[in-house]
């Protein structure tokens, strides 16, 4: 609590041009109406998302450092995936997915429903949970799902579209067996089946049951990073993901402030409509940009980033820096499971140069901030001026709130830019997505940002 209030007493002023105020109020009537009945055409549901450090008392900067540590591996994997030099050796068998994440959601599977906690992953597609009888299962906090005790469990045949969408599958007794790998020996293996999934367990939402969801019933599950949950909910762009299996292939999430105590929100299907969310608020801006497809990474949500401004300077970054190459490298993805934003190194160097020259504070190169660019900040600071930061996406200039890129720690006396450098691809991370409804619309192939006070949803 003390830390929370200390942090919130540090106020930023954005230098140059306009100050940004978000006056958004969510509309309760539309965003909370959930159908009980099964009608996928108009089905929507909401689920609470818990950050993996939820309930701990780390400071904002510590949470970000811990997140960077966790996502280090994810970022390496993401970059390695696109940087495979010899594409001919990169066959479907070796296809990997990031496979971990920063947010957990409660779901239930089967009839009667068996609750479990699952990792939400916007970088992969498969929905899976551990299943009995296990060949190799890790410890989970809830009982492992036993399909023989559920009246709605049904195996999928090998000719089913979902079986054919798997990167690796084999056919046994006309049942579809899958192997889904996440790189570095993490994998899940089992049978592809359908079940009733029940979503929505917080006080603000009704429970909604979705029948016949294709999922992996994993009997051999190996690797680190899964054990925060009992499985994973893939929200990628491929046909196996939760969003693709809904009739209205749309989802949005609204991530609360990283150091806040409230949970974040995931809205699926019809509830994810940005217009519905903003219908009562004239002050709300919706910024919509097209999603780009990368045939060699079909699960990822690629954005068209065309430039960056720091303060009043539009940085002289070469146009090709963020573009997706024909060989599948480059580009920028938006990801909920990566903590900070990583920019291709030549662009990051420009950002760093601009901040260094525009901030009126000395550099801190002690490394204590754990980030690439930090400044020394007087310990009694309560208010600071920082340059504004704008991502120029195609058709959408995203002017970030200052707390989405500058992280100050008054105890340590450091102020850091919550971004880093990468090579291979750029990644738009979750720190930059705080307090925005981020709407992924697979049918329209677009992504919208709607400034939102996420803890009031
Ligand atoms: C589902 O909802 C749509 C739109 O209201 C309606 O036209 C359709 O008849 C419903 N289907 C079922 C099976 O209830
Ligand atoms: C939070 O910090 C206080 C004081 O450092 C400590 O006593 C307490 O156990 C911590 N709580 C958690 C949940 O870590
Ligand atoms: C990050 O990981 C390294 C190595 O595993 C560890 O030494 C360091 O303390 C971690 N930092 C944080 C902030 O968790
Ligand atoms: C569809 O996407 C385009 C951008 O690609 C956007 O301008 C438009 O508003 C989107 N339509 C809807 C209904 O979201």
Of all atoms in ligand 1, which is nearest to the CA of residue 40?
Answer: 1
Q: Does 1-29+283-457 match 31-52+101-272 in CATH topology?
A: yes
Domain ranges across the chain: 1-29+283-457, 31-52+101-272
pLDDT value at position 116? 95
Helix, strand, coil shares, percent, the chain, to 5 = 20, 35, 45
Give the ranges where 302-419 is alpha helix by DSSP (H).
Answer: 345-358
pLDDT value at position 24? 27
| Superfamily the domain 1-29+283-457 falls into | Acid Proteases (2.40.70.10)
Give the tens place of pLDDT for each residue, 61-82. 999 999 888 877 777 777 766 6
* 39 close to ligand 1 (CB < 6 Angstrom): yes
Q: Phi and psi of 315, rounded to 5°?
A: -65, 140
**Residues 6 or more apart from 273 whose CB is under 8 A from it?**
250, 439
Distance of CA 197 to the CA centre of its chain: 21
Instruction: Determine what percent of the chain is predicted with pLDDT higher than 70.
Output: 82
β 187-199/436-441 pair status? unpaired
d(CA 455, CA 452): 9
pLDDT value at position 97? 66
Specify whether the backbone of 165 is left (phi greater than 0), alpha (psi in -120 to 50) or beta.
alpha
* 441 close to ligand 4 (CB < 6 Angstrom): yes
Give the tens place of pLDDT for each residue, 343-402. 999 999 999 999 999 998 999 999 888 899 999 998 777 888 899 999 999 999 999 999
Specify the residue for token string 């970088």.
Answer: 123
The alpha carbon of 288 and the centre of ligand 4 are apart by a number of angstroms equal to: 6
Query: Nearest-CA neighbor of 253 among 268, 269, 270, 265?
Result: 265
Specify whether the backbone of 438 is left (phi greater than 0), alpha (psi in -120 to 50) or beta.
beta
**Which DSSP state fits 456?**
G
Query: Peptide bond preceding 133: is omega within 30 degrees of 0, i.e. cis?
Result: yes
State the CATH architecture for 31-52+101-272. Beta Barrel (2.40)
Give the tens place of pLDDT for each residue, 274-315. 665 655 454 468 999 999 999 988 999 999 999 999 999 999
Of all atoms in ligand 1, which is nearest to the CA of residue 42?
Answer: 2
Query: For ligand 4, atom 9, which residue shows the shortest CA distance?
Result: 288
d(CA 309, CA 294): 26
Of all atoms in ligand 2, which is nearest to the CA of residue 56?
Answer: 13
Write down the pTM of the prediction.
Answer: 0.85
Please give the mean pLDDT across all residues of the chain: 84
Query: For ligand 1, atom 14, which residue shows the shortest CA distance?
Result: 39
């Amino acid at each position: 609590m003390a830390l929370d209030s200390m942090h919130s007493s540090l106020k930023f002023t954005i230098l140059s041009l306009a100050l940004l105020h978000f006056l958004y109020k969510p509309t309760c009537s539309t965003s909370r109406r959930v159908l009980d009945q099964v009608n996928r055409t108009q089905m929507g549901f909401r689920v609470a998302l818990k950050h993996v450090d939820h309930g701990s008392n780390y400071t904002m900067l510590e949470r970000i450092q811990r997140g960077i540590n966790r996502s280090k591996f994810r970022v390496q994997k993401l970059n390695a995936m696109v940087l495979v030099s010899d594409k001919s050796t990169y066959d479907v068998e070796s296809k990997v997915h990031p496979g971990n994440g920063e947010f957990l959601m409660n779901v239930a599977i089967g009839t009667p429903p068996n609750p479990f906690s699952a990792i939400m992953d916007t970088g992969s597609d498969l929905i899976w949970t551990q299943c009995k009888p296990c060949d190799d299962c890790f410890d989970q906090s809830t009982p492992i799902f036993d399909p023989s005790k559920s009246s709605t469990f049904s195996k999928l045949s090998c000719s089913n579209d979902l079986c054919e969408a798997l990167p690796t599958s084999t056919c046994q007794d006309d049942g579809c067996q899958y192997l889904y790998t996440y790189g570095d020996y993490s994998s899940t293996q089992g049978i592809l089946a359908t079940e009733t999934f029940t979503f929505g367990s917080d006080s603000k939402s009704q429970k909604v049951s979705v029948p016949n969801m294709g999922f992996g019933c994993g009997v051999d599950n190996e690797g680190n990073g899964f054990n925060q949950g009992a499985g994973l909910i893939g929200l990628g762009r491929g046909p196996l993901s939760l969003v693709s299996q809904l009739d209205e292939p749309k989802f949005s999430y609204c991530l609360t402030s990283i150091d806040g105590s409230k949970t974040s929100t995931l809205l699926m299907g019809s509830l994810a409509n940005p217009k519905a969310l903003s219908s009562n608020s004239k002050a709300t801006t919706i910024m919509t940009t097209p999603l780009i497809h990368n045939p060699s990474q079909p699960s990822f949500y690629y954005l068209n980033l065309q430039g960056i401004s720091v303060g009043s300077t539009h940085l002289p970054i070469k146009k090709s820096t963020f573009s997706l190459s024909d060989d599948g490298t480059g580009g920028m993805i938006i990801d909920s499971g990566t903590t900070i934003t990583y920019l291709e190194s030549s662009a990051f160097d420009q950002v760093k140069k601009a901040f260094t020259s525009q901030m009126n504070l000395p550099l801190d190169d002690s490394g204590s901030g754990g980030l690439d660019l930090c400044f020394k900040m007087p310990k009694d600071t309560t208010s600071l001026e920082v340059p504004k930061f704008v991502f120029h996406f195609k058709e959408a200039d995203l002017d970030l709130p200052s707390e989405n890129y500058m992280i100050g720690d008054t105890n340590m006396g450091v102020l850091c830019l919550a971004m880093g450098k990468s090579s291979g691809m750029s990644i738009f991370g979750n720190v930059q997505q705080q307090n925005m409804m981020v709407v992924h619309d697979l049918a329209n192939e677009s992504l919208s940002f709607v400034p939102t006070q996420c803890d009031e949803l």
